[in-house]
Amino acid sequence: MKQSILRILPGLALVLALAIPIHFVHQETPKYFQKVLGEAVCGIALGLCISNLFSLSSSWKEGIRFCFGNVLKFAIILLGVRISFEKIIEIGGGALFLIVGLIVLALWLSYQLGKWMQISPKLATLIGVGTAVCGNTAISAIAPAIEAKDEEMSFAIAVNTLFGTLAVFLYPLMGEYLQLSDTFFGFWAGTAINDTSQVVAAGFSYSPEAGNWATTVKLTRNALMGFVIVGVTLLHSSETNSDTEKKSWWKNIKLPGFILLFLLVAAVNSLGFFQWISNNGYPHLVSHINKLTQFLILIALVAVGLNTRFTSMKKIGWRPFFVGFATASVISITSFSLIHFFRLG
């Protein structure tokens, strides 16, 4: 036990030495920059730069693996504190139907485009999840559940960040040109832009009311993350095992332990347990847990960057960018059309 701890310490120290300054420097940057590019994106970018510019000592490897393995899984468990099934119901049937439909479409489309473009099914799934649910957080949560490679996770985050950042600037311009109402724009941005920070940036740059609507819709998408994680994990587990084992389908389905714990925490939160604690002497508990979760994800993504080589990403090629662009475009057009058809805005 003691030797295992000593083996992970050098790599863990390296990751923390990078993650802590990133966190505090990011907090001091302009608010708009923080909304467009989250600290997790900055973390994985710095990790990629260091791993590809310098030769890392082999003594750091085990600690780095611990960060993008165990630390990330613990962060996913804590994400359950953000999930409340009650909040999903509050937004209303029409909007919920729209959100669920777009999530299913994004996952199906990215998977089909991935097959057509001959890219890894896991990479296609990560791109679809990033577009469908909540960007980099969803990608980070799904990657270990489906045992995706580090370069696949890095590439999916790069694709998600690129098109999400473009959306922050393009959506308000298109909204002004089309003279969209605040409610319409809020629903459109909330259902079609990838990452939460990007949705907030686009929404509030259009108007305060649009920002409020966009944030509400986006948080509903985020609340559905638990269902998406479980569904995608079950599908990949079933596919992986069915290739090698001829068993009944229910015996092929397996959920990793950390996903089960994530669901347990989400269920406990939905019953009001954390809110009860907040109301009885610990008012900032949920806020502290969310900040800890965010920092643990930063640690994990710095480690992912440190463990990823550009040569590995280069082998993947340009096809994932096409899959990401096509999926994001179709979701944007479909969302706009359905909001107009159902008069949600």
Residue 203 placed within a domain: yes
Residue 26 placed within a domain: no
Q: Are 129 and 138 in contact (CB under 8 A)?
A: yes
Mean of pLDDT values over 72-82? 83
Residue 32 placed within a domain: no
What are the angstrom distances between the C-alpha of 296 and each of 19, 53, 341?
A: 9, 25, 42
Residue 172 placed within a domain: yes
pLDDT digits (tens, 9 = 90+) for 206-258: 888 888 788 778 877 877 887 888 888 888 766 655 444 444 444 444 566 77
Residue 23 placed within a domain: no
pLDDT above 90 as % of the chain = 23
pLDDT value of position 238: 64
Flag whether pLDDT at 309 surpasses 80.
no
Confidence of residue 259 (pLDDT cuts 50, 70, 90): confident
Pick from 36, 78, 1, 10: which is nearest to 204 by CA?
36
CA distance 62 to 13: 11
Confidence of residue 335 (pLDDT cuts 50, 70, 90): very high
Residue 1 placed within a domain: no
pLDDT above 70 as % of the chain = 88
pLDDT value of position 180: 92
- Measured N-to-C along each axis, helices 121-132 and 93-117 cross at an angle, to the nearest 10 degrees, of 150
Residue 4 placed within a domain: no
Range of the domain at 292: 39-342
pLDDT digits (tens, 9 = 90+) for 26-76: 888 887 677 667 787 788 889 889 988 888 888 888 899 898 788 888 888
Count of structural domains, the chain? 1
213 CB contacts (<8 Å, ≥6 apart)?
A: 182, 183, 185, 186, 187, 190, 203
Flag whether pLDDT at 128 surpasses 70.
yes
Q: Which long-range contacts (CB under 8 A, 24 or more apart) does 200-203 make?
A: 200/35, 201/32, 201/35, 201/36, 201/168, 202/167, 202/168, 202/171, 202/172
Mean of pLDDT values over 126-145? 85
Q: What is the DSSP letter of 194?
A: S
Residue 2 placed within a domain: no
